[in-house]
Chain A
Amino acid sequence: MSAQSHGGYYLPAPSYWPILGSAALLGLTLGATLFIHQVAGGGWVLLAGFALLVWMLFGWFGQVIGESEQGLYNQQVDSGFRWSMGWFIFSEVMFFAAFFGALFYVRTLSVPDLTSANNALLWPGYTGGWPTQGPGIKEAFEPMGAWGIPAWNTLILLSSGVTVTWAHWGLKRGNRTQLIAGLIATVALGLLFLGLQAYEYHHAYTELGLTLGAGVYGATFFMLTGFHGLHVTLGTIMLITILGRSLAGHFTPERHFAFEAVSWYWHFVDVVWLGLFIFVYWL
């Protein structure tokens, strides 16, 4: 199909990738449920779903990259990508908003409410405060301090935002060395962040008694930082992908939407971290 036959807007031919993606999601969700309930074979279904999803992502993105490199995407396609990437990041913001909202709610409403005169009938002697493991949990824990690893991680992520922008400047000036060096530095900083985060989790579980079950503090702490960590992982994989493409000579100073999308995503992850640092670790 030639792009010109559609007034320039590239319309792809029928594709098997989406149905594979659906099968992958079915396997992932069914497998996860069976796995959680310890049904024999559940883990294998989960693994198969995951493998299928990875294959689908490789295949589908591979095809898109191929089409892009053949020059099938005109300006309008490019601006469509921009609109949808922007809205996609907005949807991610709303996902985090749900968890930040939960944190805000427990800190300002439910935990103080549990110490009210009425609720003293149910939970005598509970004094609330933050962090708290709640009135009904006996095991104490220590909260995660802000000014150790988390402060370093803030510095690391902020620096990675600088390096990815520096790489972008390189790309726009046609300086491939600067592009590649900037991307390598960004990937390295991302991996360093993830390593420190893993170390912090280990520290929390083994030494602080801070677990998922450590009351609503533990729940909000791990779910917020955990989903953020997952996004950093995805962002790092995306950075590695465009690093590979840069090494393969993809992108021109004028046309490099994939690079920009990844860098938008990386900045978004960065901003979420600032929120985490302030509201989860610091205040």
Chain B
Amino acid sequence: MQAHALEHEHGHGAPSGLMRWVTTTNHKDIGTLYLWFAAVMFLLAGSMAMAIRAELFQPGLQLVSPDFFNQLTTLHGLIMVFGVIMPAMTGFANWQVPLMIGAPDMAFPRMNNWSFWILPAAAILLVISLFLPGGAAAAGWTLYPPLFIQGGISYDLTIFAIHILGASSIMGSLNIITTILNMRAPGMTLMKMPLFVWTWLITAFLLIAVMPVLAGAVTMLLTDRNFDTHFFNAAGGGDPVLFQHVFWFFGHPEVYILILPAFGIVSQIIPTFARKPLFGYASMVYATASIAILSFLVWAHHMFTVGMPAVGQLYFMYATMLIAVPTGVKVFNWVATMWRGSLTFETPMLFAIAFVALFTIGGFTGLVLAMAPVDIQLHDTYYVVAHFHYVLVSGALFAIYAGVYYWLPKWTGHMYNETLGKWHFWLSMISFNVLFFPQHFLGLAGMPRRIPDYAVQFTEFNMISSIGGFVFGASQILMLIVVLQCIRGGRKAEAKPWEGAQGLEWTVPSPAPYHTFETPPVVK
């Protein structure tokens, strides 16, 4: 991505070629590695999604066996969460946080390298598991026992992959949190930080708090599977539902881990293209913090059908509904930022606007699902599948796209092809809705999730959804082309390619030099 970068002044006999990337301690290199890793994993897990949609194109079993179908849904989920969205967001943090707070690099550059290079090891474990006897884990990305206990060798590999992914996330978060708290340029108080930095500060806190809990949960699975413990077995006084509690104590904050940095990216982009300061900066910060705190208190809304007592259903329903308040504040603030601005619609802005509208649809279906009595009907149906894809694809993924287009000029020194970018946006936006909107109807009509075959009355919407899926999948190739083109050449980008952009990252040249802010800037 930046061949020029090797000309940096530090002799040392720094390795070149492949070894440069393996041993690098530079936050920009590591950010780039994270983003490319996410891209490769996106193609892998995306092709799994294509296989899933192809199998579901019509009723009957056509392409894959039911067991392999379950492996596909499990790996698709695990890889998209841990191998795509999280690494991509961490890639943004690596590239942008030091640039935005005026730090010379991340706080611990060597540990930063390790955090990244654990990811390929985990990916290797997951990919190996596909080829072991019995195939990969097929118990869903939520790993629920006792089904998870039944599986073979690949299930243990999956557990260990999650362990080391957790180690990577914790080290990555320690690095980010320390960088933000300790390495801001003089004068950059916390309440002057760009919102992207704020959201990552809170995300890093969430990661440090919940990744160890996930590690504990999968450790209990490991010992229940192999060492005769009875955490999740009623015969020994345990309870399968205990796993769900521990898992979702991790899992719900995890959802915000995936989306908070997306909020941050969008909060950078909308003011730029509205040419107007972000509305309600302070309330944005407080809303983000409130969402993070609430995320620890709502986990059992994923479990309304396990048979909790009424008081449990009520508490988790009320607490979950409360999340709508700070989330609403954020949406209102974005709309107010656009109000009476001077708007232009370059690709990053298009993705950001789509994010606001479509994420909000995911938020509304979330509110419907928060209603415990209604969730009884919708739990584990395609309605839920539609809900979380609105939040994670048109939410997190669209924000990642917006961020890539927004900062690509800074990273590569070239402008991307705006026409192709717009094609990518419109194709993605339309096909995304064709893909996922009908899934609401499927869920309401009674189609459970995670089934390889379905009753005939679900055929039409599944066909529409699959067609949308294929177009969506194909459209993402465009993105790859745009990025590769932009790396190879194109119109030279100025230091500040966007008229309305604010912030320290636009004060350094494009492409950003290998080392930036070696002397800290002073923020007034």
* A–B direct contact (CB < 8 Å): yes
Bound Cα distance A37, B157 (Å):
11
Assess whether B499 is interfacial by the CB under 8 Å rule: no
Interchain nearest-CB distance for B516 vs A (Å): 11
Given A1-B12, A25-B164, A133-B237: A94 and B121 interface contact (C-beta under 8 Å): no
Q: Which of B190-242 contact A (CB under 8 A)?
A: 208-213, 215-217, 219-220, 223-224, 226-231, 233-239, 241-242
Residues B246 and A80 in contact, CB atoms below 8 Å apart: no
Assess whether A30 is interfacial by the CB under 8 Å rule: yes
Given A19-B23, A21-B114: A12 and B229 interface contact (C-beta under 8 Å): no
> Of B14, B20, B183, which one neighbours A80 at CB under 8 angstroms?
B183
Bound Cα distance A215, B109 (Å):
45
With both beta carbons as reference points, the residue of chain A lying nearest to B128 in the complex is identified as A30
Residues A13 and B12 in contact, CB atoms below 8 Å apart: yes
Residues B216 and A98 in contact, CB atoms below 8 Å apart: yes
Assess whether B290 is interfacial by the CB under 8 Å rule: no
| Consensus secondary structure, chain B interface | helix
Contacting chain A: which of B55-63, B169-177, B315-323?
B169-177
Contacting chain A: which of B100-108, B334-342, B357-365, B474-482?
B100-108
Assess whether B178 is interfacial by the CB under 8 Å rule: yes
Assess whether B433 is interfacial by the CB under 8 Å rule: no
Given A36-B226, A90-B208: A95 and B156 interface contact (C-beta under 8 Å): no
Residues B223 and A219 in contact, CB atoms below 8 Å apart: yes
Interchain nearest-CB distance for B71 vs A (Å): 17
Given A14-B23, A87-B178: A29 and B217 interface contact (C-beta under 8 Å): no
Bound Cα distance A134, B125 (Å):
35
Interchain nearest-CB distance for B430 vs A (Å): 41
Assess whether B493 is interfacial by the CB under 8 Å rule: no
Bound Cα distance A26, B108 (Å):
22
On chain A, the number of residues with a Cβ less than 8 Å from chain B's Cβ atoms is 70
Residues A83 and B177 in contact, CB atoms below 8 Å apart: yes
> Of B118, B223, B237, which one neighbours A111 at CB under 8 angstroms?
B237
Residues A80 and B107 in contact, CB atoms below 8 Å apart: yes
Residues B105 and A136 in contact, CB atoms below 8 Å apart: no
Residues B164 and A106 in contact, CB atoms below 8 Å apart: no
Contacting chain B: which of A2-10, A173-181, A190-198, A263-271?
A2-10
Q: Which of A21, A123, A217 has its CB near the most chain B CB atoms (within 10 A)?
A: A21
Given A21-B114, A99-B216, A135-B237: A11 and B208 interface contact (C-beta under 8 Å): no
| Consensus secondary structure, chain A interface | helix
Residues A80 and B178 in contact, CB atoms below 8 Å apart: yes
Assess whether B373 is interfacial by the CB under 8 Å rule: no
Residues A33 and B156 in contact, CB atoms below 8 Å apart: yes
Residues A216 and B231 in contact, CB atoms below 8 Å apart: yes
Assess whether B491 is interfacial by the CB under 8 Å rule: no
Given A7-B519, A83-B182: A136 and B236 interface contact (C-beta under 8 Å): yes
Given A83-B181, A215-B230: A135 and B235 interface contact (C-beta under 8 Å): yes
Residues A84 and B177 in contact, CB atoms below 8 Å apart: yes
Assess whether A110 is interfacial by the CB under 8 Å rule: yes
With both beta carbons as reference points, the residue of chain B lying nearest to A98 in the complex is identified as B216
Q: Which of A192-220 contact B (CB under 8 A)?
A: 211-213, 215-220
Q: Which of A1-54 contact B (CB under 8 A)?
A: 1, 5-7, 9, 11-19, 21-23, 25-26, 29-30, 32-33, 36-37, 39
Assess whether A79 is interfacial by the CB under 8 Å rule: yes
> Of A16, A113, A122, A219, which one neighbours B23 at CB under 8 angstroms?
A16
Q: Which of A12, A18, A222 has its CB near the most chain B CB atoms (within 10 A)?
A: A18
Interface string of B105-124 (1 = CB under 8 A from A): 10111110110011011001
Query: Which A residues lie within 8 Å of B23 (CB)?
Result: 14-16, 18-19
With both beta carbons as reference points, the residue of chain A lying nearest to B155 in the complex is identified as A33
Bound Cα distance A65, B234 (Å):
50
Given A80-B178, A215-B230, A216-B230: A87 and B164 interface contact (C-beta under 8 Å): no
> Of B117, B125, B216, which one neighbours A30 at CB under 8 angstroms?
B125
Given A11-B109, A16-B23: A215 and B237 interface contact (C-beta under 8 Å): yes
Assess whether B43 is interfacial by the CB under 8 Å rule: no
Bound Cα distance A105, B11 (Å):
58
Assess whether B245 is interfacial by the CB under 8 Å rule: yes
Residues B110 and A17 in contact, CB atoms below 8 Å apart: yes
Assess whether A91 is interfacial by the CB under 8 Å rule: yes
Assess whether A162 is interfacial by the CB under 8 Å rule: no
Bound Cα distance A267, B249 (Å):
27
Bound Cα distance A99, B212 (Å):
11
Residues A95 and B213 in contact, CB atoms below 8 Å apart: yes
Bound Cα distance A19, B67 (Å):
35
Given A19-B23, A84-B108, A114-B237: A219 and B229 interface contact (C-beta under 8 Å): yes
Interchain nearest-CB distance for B29 vs A (Å): 9
With both beta carbons as reference points, the residue of chain A lying nearest to B24 in the complex is identified as A14
Residues B183 and A13 in contact, CB atoms below 8 Å apart: no
Bound Cα distance A21, B216 (Å):
22
Query: Which B residues lie within 8 Å of A241 (CB)?
Result: none
Residues B12 and A110 in contact, CB atoms below 8 Å apart: no
Query: Which B residues lie within 8 Å of A25 (CB)?
Result: 118, 121, 164, 167
Residues A106 and B208 in contact, CB atoms below 8 Å apart: no
Query: Which B residues lie within 8 Å of A153 (CB)?
Result: none
Residues A219 and B125 in contact, CB atoms below 8 Å apart: no
Residues A97 and B213 in contact, CB atoms below 8 Å apart: yes
Interchain nearest-CB distance for B114 vs A (Å): 4
Assess whether B153 is interfacial by the CB under 8 Å rule: yes
Bound Cα distance A143, B242 (Å):
23
Assess whether B136 is interfacial by the CB under 8 Å rule: no
Query: Which A residues lie within 8 Å of B520 (CB)?
Result: 7
Query: Which A residues lie within 8 Å of B223 (CB)?
Result: 212, 219, 223
With both beta carbons as reference points, the residue of chain B lying nearest to A123 in the complex is identified as B234
Interchain nearest-CB distance for B232 vs A (Å): 9
Query: Which B residues lie within 8 Å of A102 (CB)?
Result: 216, 220, 231, 242, 246
Bound Cα distance A29, B14 (Å):
31
Interchain nearest-CB distance for A79 vs B (Å): 6
Residues A7 and B518 in contact, CB atoms below 8 Å apart: yes
Q: Which of B117-165 contact A (CB under 8 A)?
A: 117-118, 120-121, 124-125, 128, 153, 156-157, 160-161, 163-164
Bound Cα distance A42, B520 (Å):
51
Bound Cα distance A102, B236 (Å):
14
Assess whether B524 is interfacial by the CB under 8 Å rule: no
Q: List 11 A-B contacts (CB under 8 A).
A: A12-B110, A22-B120, A84-B108, A90-B209, A98-B215, A109-B239, A111-B237, A134-B238, A135-B237, A215-B237, A219-B229
Q: Top 7 A-B pairs ranked by shortest CB distance?
A: A136-B235, A98-B216, A134-B237, A18-B114, A29-B160, A219-B229, A95-B212
Residues of chain A at the chain B interface (Cβ within 8 Å):
1, 5-7, 9, 11-19, 21-23, 25-26, 29-30, 32-33, 36-37, 39, 60, 76, 79-80, 83-84, 87-88, 90-92, 94-95, 97-99, 101-102, 105-106, 109-111, 113-114, 122-123, 132-137, 211-213, 215-220, 222-223
